[in-house]
Amino acid sequence: MSAWDVSTIGSGPIASEANGGVDIFIPATTHGDPLQQNLFALRLTARCHLAGDFDLQVDYTLTTWPTRNGVRFGLIAGADSVERTSDPVGPDNTYATNFSGSIVQTATQDKSGRMRLTRVGTTITGYYLNNGSWVTIATTTAAAGSPAYVIQAWTDDYTFHQQAVRVNLKNLSATGCS
């Protein structure tokens, strides 16, 4: 994890090297920061910024993923992300994109998979891998600039259902990071 700055919001989330990747563990006793709308998060921020075109990919395995746990995790570039989510009141398991607050979701039952976030020219796209082919979740016009690159798991006290969650991330690839 030497290429990353690890930070947390709230109390509880832990990142550790495990199974050839990074384990993100959110204990059932995790609590959000009342000064940040009860948000809690574990952030792995790359020690580089994305410049020009980029292609970010990561494999994931849901090691412990209870039904309707309320946690989401994903790849983030600035205000844009591709995510794997659980929602206690809406669709429980989805792949999602969040492009500057505009959320698009597609249902999944995948317990493991690969996600991808790209910027080519002025277009940013979020994908998931299905049977060896990339499936587009959504596309938008990319904001200008050199955003930070973050892997994050997060939720808040209102959405989290006090169930331990563990996700293993590996085979991370990033082009366009300098």
Burial 160-171 (b: 16+ CB within 10 A, else e): beebebbbbbee
Residue 9: pLDDT band (50, 70, 90) is very high
Q: Where are the domains of the chain?
A: 4-177
Task: Say which residue, 4 or 117, is predicted with more confidence.
Answer: 117
Question: pLDDT tens for residues 92-135?
Answer: 999 999 998 899 999 999 999 999 999 999 999 999 999 999 99
Cα separation, 111 vs 45, whole angstroms = 25
Digit-coded pLDDT (tens) for 125-163: 999 999 999 999 999 998 778 888 899 999 999 899 899
Q: Given a cut of 80, is residue 78 above it in pLDDT?
A: yes
Instruction: Check residue 150 and give its pLDDT.
Output: 92
CATH classification (class only), 4-177: mainly beta
Average pLDDT estimate for 71-84 = 95
Q: Torsion angle, CA of 92/107/79/156, rounded to 10 degrees?
A: 0
pLDDT of 1 above 70: no
Looking at residue 171, its pLDDT comes to 93
